[in-house]
Structure 1
Amino acid sequence: MSDFFQFIIEGLTTGSFYALVALGYTMVYGIIRLINFAHGDLFMVGAFIGWTGLMVLASAHLPLALALLIALVAAMTVTGALGLLIERLAYQPLLRAPRLSILITALGVSLALQNGVLLIYGAGFRTYPHVLSQAGFELHGVQITFAQIGIIVASLALMLALYFFVHHTFLGTAMRALAIDQDAARLMGIDVERLIQLTFLLGSVLAAVAGVMEGLYYTQINFFMGFVLGLRAFTAAVLGGIGNIPGAMAGGILIGLLEAFGAGYVSSQWTDVFVFGVLIGVLVIKPTGLFGERVVERM
């Protein structure tokens, strides 16, 4: 029984990363009906920017907490700006084009980001400093570290903050109106282009936070990490009901738990089979996801 609860803790930790990235997928899809396959690579870029910041600050002998904060803010800023640049240059000119055109562009942007990081940092793994302590406590045979608690709590706080923003602020209401009908929203005086940019900015910032946290937790990063995690986060968004923010949160956690139980009770070599098997099953049995896509409101 202790193994069961240990897998839950591990699944919640991993699922927190998936949920944060899945939110970017579901927000962009809810606004412009685009599956942004480059989003997972923004997660990877955020991890590398955070690593670079920590390496630079390590030589300055700054206090650890301050160095982490500066590196995180730098990752959020650079990745957010990159997300805005991608939306402006790659996606905005194609918003009125056929969906296939913008989808192919998203795949091209994904490859460009991967190869750009490959050229700058190389193909080898980069290692984050071991700054997260393994200290924690044992509860009925279950080992829980303070780092795991911090990651889960921080991710949950970010997800709840995003939910509150979308559902209880003026800009969030405008975003939900835009998700329903862009033309009607424009007639009501809503700045459609600015809100689309805001959506990309928020998604990119959340991806950067997830990238830095995963780098700190697992310590090793590489230029291809965003592709695999992006596919799993996309699966989480589809599982919860793509276009549905609470669904993306729940889907990320469920995929994390599925991965942890699959690796623990079967084999870690089969985790991708389990995860993408779920994707196929959801698309065949219930394409709208577990929460179902709302007809009136998609965000």
Structure 2
Amino acid sequence: MLEQQLINALSLGSVYALFALGFTLVFGVLGVINLSHGAIFMLGSYAALLLVEHLALPLWLAMLAAMLVSGLIGLAVDYLVLKPLRARNAPHLAPMIATIGVATILTSLAQGLFGAENKRFPVGTIPEESYNWGNLHVTAVQIGIVVISFVLMLVLLAVMRRTQLGRALRAIAESPKAAYLLGINVEGLFYLTSFAAAALGGAAGVLVGLSFNAITPFMGQPMLHKGIAVIILGGMGDIRGAMIAGLFLGFAEVLTVAYISSDFRDAVGFGLLFLILLVKPSGMFGKVLERKA
């Protein structure tokens, strides 16, 4: 039934959008494509799982704690990896290569600590309630995923558009040197951006873990590919674009599985991405952001 597939697509697409928001935030402010974002997403899932299993935290509190853990990991990556490269005026390719190395290290550590097999949340952790309207079936988890994703996305959009912090971040995105001359703490906001982006990635990781009830050390890599596709489709550095493109990719995948075949899920999704970029190479929203100084 089409209505049921649209509900499933909304749930999946909102997670893609949330993951891509952190990705595009780092690119928009720091001018860096952080390829360790998928590994941080994965660690967010494990953090929530461990807190639920060993400390018996309620799910909502474990998710907040997982966002904090993910944010701190993102902050550490910025301080230990990206900051030295910024100080040396490294070419744009250097952070990408460095964060690939970080992602490999984090994935290997997770595999060594937790094993390669799927992990699941303990029985009773995930709400089992569901709601039926005719033939339409919606679970409490799906409702929670959509609500949490949209709340986080709208909060970020409001901060960027309506606060002094958001204006400062937009100024840095335009020109870090000019922002520094205006008295903005550029380095401090770089750290804050890395923390916030990683926290959003961690939240997406927890939501994916809840949605599929399966957590593995390798779950970050496929999501990283989707995130790259989303930020390119939406327009590099554009928050609105990331939200809409994430939903678009989710709908494309779910409808392909439902009405064509699961074998063509990625082919159709990325094929549509290719066609859209042929028409509008800069993505759905505006031009690719460039640094002016």
Instruction: Give TM class, smaller chain.
Output: over 0.9
Q: Distance in 1 between matches of 2:276 and 2:151?
A: 28
The equivalences for 1:66-145 within 5 A come to 67-95=58-86, 96-130=89-123, 131-145=125-139
Bigger Cα displacement from structure 2, 78-87 vs 92-101? 92-101
1:43-73 deviations in Å (ceiling 9; x for gaps): 1010011111111024xxxxxxx52133112
Deviation, 1:108, is 1.1
Contact 2:18 2:201 in 1 (8 A): yes
Match of 1:218 among 203, 207, 212: 212
Give % identity. Answer: 38
Matched to 1:36, the amino acid is N
Deviation, 1:210, is 1.2
Contact 1:90 1:105 in 2 (8 A): yes
Contact 1:15 1:254 in 2 (8 A): yes
Matched to 2:131, the amino acid is F
Contact 1:243 1:293 in 2 (8 A): no
Aligned residue number for residue 63 of structure 1: none
1:13-32 deviations in Å (ceiling 9; x for gaps): 01111111100111111112
Deviation, 1:154, is 1.4
Matched to 1:263, the amino acid is V
Deviation, 1:129, is 2.3
Bigger Cα displacement from structure 2, 71-80 vs 128-137? 128-137
Deviation, 1:294, is 6.5
- 3-state SS, counterpart of residue 40 of structure 1: helix
Deviation, 1:292, is 2.3
Deviation, 1:85, is 0.3
For structure 2, the 5+ residue unaligned runs are none
Deviation >3 Å, runs of 4+? 278-285, 294-297
CA change 1:272–1:296 in 2 (3 A) is: closer
1:236 aligns with 2:233: no
Q: Distance in 1 between matches of 2:273 and 2:100?
A: 19
1:61-118 deviations in Å (ceiling 9; x for gaps): xxxxx52133112211211111000001111111221111111112111111111111
Aligned residue number for residue 209 of structure 1: 203
| TM-score normalised to structure 2 length | 0.93
Q: Distance in 1 between matches of 2:177 and 2:17?
A: 30
1:195-231 deviations in Å (ceiling 9; x for gaps): 1111111111111111112212211110010110111
The equivalences for 1:115-194 within 5 A come to 115-130=108-123, 131-194=125-188
Matched to 2:7, the amino acid is I
- Paired residues in the alignment total 289
Bigger Cα displacement from structure 2, 221-230 vs 280-289? 280-289
Q: Distance in 1 between matches of 2:225 and 2:110?
A: 19
Contact 2:236 2:288 in 1 (8 A): no
Bigger Cα displacement from structure 2, 246-255 vs 137-146? 137-146
1:196 aligns with 2:190: yes
Q: Distance in 1 between matches of 2:196 and 2:150?
A: 16
Deviation, 1:279, is 3.7
For structure 1, the 5+ residue unaligned runs are 59-65
Deviation, 1:164, is 0.6
Q: Distance in 1 between matches of 2:103 and 2:114?
A: 17
Q: Distance in 2 between matches of 1:103 and 1:283?
A: 22
| TM-score normalised to structure 1 length | 0.91
